[in-house]
A and B are shown apart, each in its own frame.
Chain A
Amino acid sequence: MTAAHVAERTQASTDRDDRAIAAQAIGLSKTYGEGGALVTALGDVTVEFASGQLTAIMGPSGSGKSTLMHCMAALDTPTAGTVIIDGTDITHLKDKALTRLRRDRLGFVFQAYNLVPTLTAQENITLPMDIAGRRVDAEWFDTVVDTLGIRDRLAHRPDELSGGQQQRVACARALLSRPAIVFADEPTGNLDSRASAEILAFLRASVDDFGQTIVMVTHDPSAASYADRVVFLVDGAIVDDIVKPTMAVVLERIQELDRPRAEA
């Protein structure tokens, strides 16, 4: 990553600083178990994600990153608090409406196992649209597929793809329906540095070029440096929020956050 690159990107995101809010959590809590065995995965988290931004969520293992993501992505129900996606309060929606919301307005990229093994790459990409019975925008499909460089892999099944290719197919699927927001939980966690760089570059590009909103969990400081903003979670609470992070800043924060834990 060159300095020029970073500068250019920082410039781009500054332009969108006062954008609309794509997703919002208010007083979000999630606890597991009860009594002595009570685990607080999230404790009263309030955060908002602006449209057209790539936000990274970082924090030590077990800090509640995935939990936050799942609650916001309508995959899990919070114990308390409100989640608003694209202007809709989803806290009290029924399963059917939540499913429709995930299908039409959200995109997902998981760390692994993103694809249905019986379907080809192309079928996997269009799956949510097919489920919805919506027509696929062919031009947009071509743009996404070409940007990700997976055109020659479209007819292959997931077991015939490398890990990086699988993640790219998953990215294409997440973007195809032009969702209000894409959630990615350690999308590069299983990949080597080159493959991760490709995925991250694509996520970055889709924010820059297509105005996509993306929230991504990562442990990798270099991945965080692709983001417009980094939110730090520790023990289920937001402890820091850095706009326009650089790798150096991120590394520094991680070390700071780790120090008290290491001493304790």
Chain B
Amino acid sequence: MWRVTLRGIQGHLVRLLLTAAAVMLGVSFVTGTFVLRDSFDRAISGLVAGSSAGLDVAVRGTEIAGGDGARARLPLDLVDSLSAVPGAARVSPDLRGVAIIAGSDGTAVRNSGAPGLGFAFSDDDPAFTLIKGRGPVGAGEVVVETVTLDKGGLEVGDRTRAVIGGETRHVVITGEVEFGVLFGATAVLVDEASAIHSFARDGTVPSFTITAADGVSQAELRASVAEVVPRGIEVVTGATVDAENESSVQQGLGFFTTFLLVFAGVALFVGAFIIGNTFSMLIGQRARELALLRALGASRGQVLRSVLGEAAVVGVVGSILGMGLGVLVAQGAKLAIAGLLGVDIGTSLPVTSSTLLISLAVGTLVTMASAILPARRAARTAPVAAMRGDTPIAQKGLRRRGISGAVLLGVGVGLLGLAVTREDVPWVAAGIGSFVAVMGMLVGAPLFARPVVRAVVWPFVVVSGVVARLARQNALRVPRRTAATASALMIGLALVAGISVLAQSVKASITEGVSSELTSDFVLSGGQSPVPPQVATEASKLSEVSSVAAVGLVPVTIGDFSTTAAAVEAASMPENFTVSMAEGRLDSMEGDRVLVDRTTASDNRWEVGDVLPATVGTLGAHDLVVGGIYEDSQAFGTHVIVSRGLYEDAVPSDMQTDLQVYVAAVGGADQAQLREDLDAIVSPYLVVSVMNASEFATAEGTAIDNLLNLLYVLLLFSVVIAVLGIVNTLALSVLERTREIGLLRAVGLQRRQLGAMITVEAIATAAFGAVLGTVLGLGLGIALQRGLEAQGLRTLGIPWGLVVLMLGASVLVGVLAAVAPSIRATRLNILAAINRA
């Protein structure tokens, strides 16, 4: 029987290659996702280790309660007593702050989203190495990190401007350094005196880094350092810092890793679909041959074993190829991530043995599992029956499957609907509901094939008549197969649609909030970078300006409620924002009297006049008074508003930067002129820009777009694989219909018409997947938005443009998928095709 297996493989080489290609695609999806995930993990560990080069012991202030990880600062002169510690080879105060440099085009050098950092230059700092030029001397010289230099089109020796610690300076670039790890940030380095001037203006620094002398362990050094520092100062080892950093980065990227995991799950699933689909077609086509074997005396078991053996060979070969392709896919994704987010996650591609094992197991087992059912069917068919009949025609018996699909879909949608409309959304139930709904859609898909395919093909039927009708019949010939082929695309596009509904809703909510609550004429903002306090001061001096509201942020803990509060001058608010007071008066906010939004007040049962024990910024044990309660506001996005007076007490002066500065013009002022004047004020600060309300809303939304683009790239890979899946199925079904195609050509179907027929069939399949995926994705996205309504996602945004684009693109996908199978079909020799057994 083994000889039969081998001969089987030889005799059906093309079909088997196509099947192996399906296995390869499925497996590559799985391998690629896992490799990408591991790359991220490794990159994170590498980054964390690299970021603490030379750090054996860190000395830092204690965490401020409720300060979101903010710490008390330490006096700079602590350096003397630290240097005296035995075993400390090098002690350096962490002089760092915000620094931005202008590129050769005069605009700020930015790396999308990542901050611009400034450091003190020191020859022996292990965090970076000088690769060109020399260190900076005096306020007019800087050294720039190599990627930053490159991005700005700058070179050592160039003159440019830099904003360092809020001050604009004309500088000469004297050198170039390379950092071990910078997390994509830009970096500018100044000499120590300038660093102290810019980043430690009040004589404090956040921490000190101590490098141990040879032969001194981190723990020993930590112990000796702890003896000399005053109480209330933390001394931790580098290992502890690494662990903290790693967990915080992991947490920050948690969303992304979760997404990759979900994606891997989807990958497994879609891969299994493609493989199962292809193999069942293969066995179906061989039903006759298997029946002949049976007629010649082979037992059922023998036939079954022979088929399974074949499946195993195909599975293993396909899996091995798939692993290779998967690594390439991961590499492509990495390039995309580097290009889109500017995040370099390293050049190595970690292919772990567990990745390989999972991939191999998935590929082989899924192939064998999907071979079992059709093989058993084939083994059981009476030889005579199988010798008859040719290709499978529209099967019946979809009813049971349709009903189970509909029931699953109903249960899933119901559960999801119930979950997201609850006050306190049970997300686990919502997740289960979504999953069940997706399963229902997959199971029920064959039932939807008829109406959707009919609708999609209708315009083609109008135009080209019988050719499109033939295509439609072909697409509906085996609805299960069409559905399985389309499902890969369906899943991919459902994710795209769902995510973009969410993103669009975020943007719509922002726009809505901005337009309904913002009354100022201009917003001055530095995006991720803070706005120096001088901006607000200068803006308020302009004659066209009626009111300037500078908004700073400060961590506040009241009782056990911790939040970040906005710090604004009460008098500047009415002209710049719509704030409606529920209780108390807006101008009662002064000193320790603060404003609280209605939800927070009622959750905590606070009332106007309550005196609450609190900490604000660096101020511990400080009583606050509830001065007023305002209606929940989008404009601030904070739950508490404090006065500027309190803010100035609670935040070290060099940290008193503004998040945004709002400017309201006097009535009848020339807006264009005002804008020009404001531009003149902000231009020295490089990163601060002047926006009107609608520009501001758009800018807030672009941060989301960056993340979105990354997800789209990942999903694009699933779409590519889905396309290849369609190509594969189509190629197999062309093979399966060889005689029929020969017949059609014999009775007068032109090559062009044959190509059109296959193309329309592909379009029907792709569009079917796209329609189902879009519906599913929109549904899930809308449900998510409803669930997140209380979290501020108040406005539903449907990305109609994207929906149209996806449906349109699916047509293109169909056209592309049909190219190879069409060429193959049109090249068939008519006679050979007709006479084929």
A and B, one complex?
yes
**A residues near B, CB below 8 A?**
70, 75-76, 95-96, 99-100, 102-104, 108, 110, 113-119, 123, 127-128, 130-133, 157, 159, 173
Whether the pair A76, B747 counts as a contact (CB closer than 8 A) is: no
Residues of A within 8 A of B473 (CB): 118-119
- Name 16 interchain pairs, CB-CB below 8 A, sorted by A: A70-B831, A75-B746, A75-B830, A96-B751, A99-B749, A102-B747, A103-B749, A108-B746, A110-B743, A114-B743, A116-B743, A117-B390, A118-B474, A119-B470, A130-B466, A159-B393
Given A100-B748, A102-B748, A103-B748, A127-B466 contact (CB < 8 Å): yes
Whether the pair B746, A116 counts as a contact (CB closer than 8 A) is: no
Residues of B within 8 A of A103 (CB): 747-749
The range of chain B's interface size is 20 to 34
Whether the pair B751, A95 counts as a contact (CB closer than 8 A) is: yes
Residues of B within 8 A of A127 (CB): 466, 744, 747
Does B298 sit within 8 A of A, measured CB to CB? no
Does B740 sit within 8 A of A, measured CB to CB? yes
Residues of A within 8 A of B749 (CB): 99, 103, 131
Does B753 sit within 8 A of A, measured CB to CB? yes
> Which residue of A76, A116, A128 contacts B831 across the interface (Cβ within 8 Å)?
A76
**Least Cβ–Cβ distance between B296 and chain A, in angstroms:** 23
Given A70-B831, A100-B748, A108-B747, A131-B466 contact (CB < 8 Å): yes
Given A76-B831, A131-B467, A117-B740 contact (CB < 8 Å): yes
> Which residue of A70, A100, A116 contacts B470 across the interface (Cβ within 8 Å)?
A116
Who on chain A is nearest to B826 by CB?
Answer: A95
C-alpha spacing A157/B394, complex, angstroms: 10
Given A95-B751, A130-B465, A159-B389, A102-B746 contact (CB < 8 Å): yes
> Which residue of A110, A115, A131 contacts B753 across the interface (Cβ within 8 Å)?
A131
Does B739 sit within 8 A of A, measured CB to CB? yes
**Least Cβ–Cβ distance between A161 and chain B, in angstroms:** 12
Does B745 sit within 8 A of A, measured CB to CB? yes
Residues of A within 8 A of B671 (CB): none
**B residues near A, CB below 8 A?**
389-391, 393-394, 465-467, 469-470, 473-474, 477, 739-740, 743-751, 753, 830-831, 834
Q: A110-B743, A117-B390 are in contact. List 5 more A-B contacts (CB 8 A).
A: A75-B830, A118-B393, A130-B469, A131-B467, A131-B749
Q: Which 9 A-B pairs have the closest CB atoms?
A: A103-B748, A130-B466, A118-B473, A128-B747, A128-B748, A102-B748, A99-B750, A131-B748, A117-B393
C-alpha spacing A74/B581, complex, angstroms: 89
C-alpha spacing A102/B746, complex, angstroms: 7
Residues of B within 8 A of A114 (CB): 743
Residues of A within 8 A of B748 (CB): 99-100, 102-104, 128, 131-132
Residues of B within 8 A of A108 (CB): 746-747
**Least Cβ–Cβ distance between A196 and chain B, in angstroms:** 19
C-alpha spacing A119/B394, complex, angstroms: 11
Residues of A within 8 A of B467 (CB): 131
Residues of B within 8 A of A157 (CB): 393
> Which residue of B469, B474, B739, B750 contacts A113 across the interface (Cβ within 8 Å)?
B739
C-alpha spacing A119/B750, complex, angstroms: 18
Q: Which of B393, B466, B740 has the most CB of A within 10 A?
A: B466
C-alpha spacing A95/B749, complex, angstroms: 11
C-alpha spacing A191/B572, complex, angstroms: 98
Residues of A within 8 A of B744 (CB): 116, 127
Whether the pair B747, A173 counts as a contact (CB closer than 8 A) is: yes
**Least Cβ–Cβ distance between A178 and chain B, in angstroms:** 14
Given A75-B831, A113-B390, A118-B747 contact (CB < 8 Å): no
**Least Cβ–Cβ distance between A97 and chain B, in angstroms:** 10
Whether the pair A131, B751 counts as a contact (CB closer than 8 A) is: no
Whether the pair A117, B750 counts as a contact (CB closer than 8 A) is: no
Who on chain A is nearest to B739 by CB?
Answer: A113
Residues of A within 8 A of B753 (CB): 131
Given A117-B393, A159-B389, A99-B745 contact (CB < 8 Å): yes
C-alpha spacing A49/B725, complex, angstroms: 50
Residues of B within 8 A of A100 (CB): 748, 750
**Least Cβ–Cβ distance between B391 and chain A, in angstroms:** 6
Q: Which of A70, A99, A119, A132 has the most CB of B within 10 A?
A: A99
Given A99-B751, A103-B747, A133-B465 contact (CB < 8 Å): yes
**Least Cβ–Cβ distance between B64 and chain A, in angstroms:** 74
C-alpha spacing A108/B834, complex, angstroms: 12
C-alpha spacing A95/B753, complex, angstroms: 13
Residues of B within 8 A of A118 (CB): 393-394, 470, 473-474, 477
**Least Cβ–Cβ distance between B744 and chain A, in angstroms:** 7
Residues of B within 8 A of A116 (CB): 470, 740, 743-744
C-alpha spacing A43/B753, complex, angstroms: 35
Residues of A within 8 A of B830 (CB): 75
**Least Cβ–Cβ distance between B740 and chain A, in angstroms:** 6
C-alpha spacing A70/B751, complex, angstroms: 19
Who on chain B is nearest to A76 by CB?
Answer: B831
**Least Cβ–Cβ distance between B822 and chain A, in angstroms:** 15
**Least Cβ–Cβ distance between B749 and chain A, in angstroms:** 5
Residues of B within 8 A of A159 (CB): 389, 393
Who on chain B is nearest to A107 by CB?
Answer: B747
Residues of A within 8 A of B831 (CB): 70, 75-76
C-alpha spacing A113/B741, complex, angstroms: 11
C-alpha spacing A95/B740, complex, angstroms: 18
Residues of B within 8 A of A70 (CB): 831
Residues of B within 8 A of A110 (CB): 743, 834
Residues of B within 8 A of A95 (CB): 751
**Least Cβ–Cβ distance between B835 and chain A, in angstroms:** 9
C-alpha spacing A70/B832, complex, angstroms: 11
> Which residue of A102, A117, A130 contacts B391 across the interface (Cβ within 8 Å)?
A117
Q: Which of B470, B746, B830, B831 has the most CB of A within 10 A?
A: B746
C-alpha spacing A108/B744, complex, angstroms: 11
Residues of A within 8 A of B747 (CB): 102-103, 108, 127-128, 131, 173
Who on chain B is nearest to A104 by CB?
Answer: B748
C-alpha spacing A110/B743, complex, angstroms: 9
Who on chain B is nearest to A173 by CB?
Answer: B747
**Least Cβ–Cβ distance between A263 and chain B, in angstroms:** 32
Residues of B within 8 A of A131 (CB): 466-467, 747-750, 753
Q: Which of A96, A114, A116, A123 has the most CB of B within 10 A?
A: A116
**Least Cβ–Cβ distance between A184 and chain B, in angstroms:** 13
C-alpha spacing A115/B160, complex, angstroms: 79
C-alpha spacing A118/B761, complex, angstroms: 13
**Least Cβ–Cβ distance between B641 and chain A, in angstroms:** 70
Residues of B within 8 A of A113 (CB): 390, 739, 743, 834
**Least Cβ–Cβ distance between B307 and chain A, in angstroms:** 25
C-alpha spacing A159/B389, complex, angstroms: 8
Residues of B within 8 A of A128 (CB): 747-748
Residues of A within 8 A of B739 (CB): 113
C-alpha spacing A80/B750, complex, angstroms: 25
C-alpha spacing A113/B740, complex, angstroms: 8
**Least Cβ–Cβ distance between B402 and chain A, in angstroms:** 21
C-alpha spacing A99/B743, complex, angstroms: 12
**Least Cβ–Cβ distance between A207 and chain B, in angstroms:** 21
C-alpha spacing A159/B393, complex, angstroms: 8
Residues of A within 8 A of B394 (CB): 118
Residues of A within 8 A of B466 (CB): 127, 130-131
**Least Cβ–Cβ distance between A260 and chain B, in angstroms:** 29
**Least Cβ–Cβ distance between A129 and chain B, in angstroms:** 9
**Least Cβ–Cβ distance between A113 and chain B, in angstroms:** 6
C-alpha spacing A171/B830, complex, angstroms: 20
Residues of A within 8 A of B465 (CB): 130, 133
**Least Cβ–Cβ distance between B581 and chain A, in angstroms:** 72
**Least Cβ–Cβ distance between B449 and chain A, in angstroms:** 14
C-alpha spacing A75/B389, complex, angstroms: 25
**Least Cβ–Cβ distance between B817 and chain A, in angstroms:** 20
Given A70-B831, A76-B831, A131-B467, A96-B750 contact (CB < 8 Å): yes
C-alpha spacing A70/B742, complex, angstroms: 13
C-alpha spacing A113/B747, complex, angstroms: 13
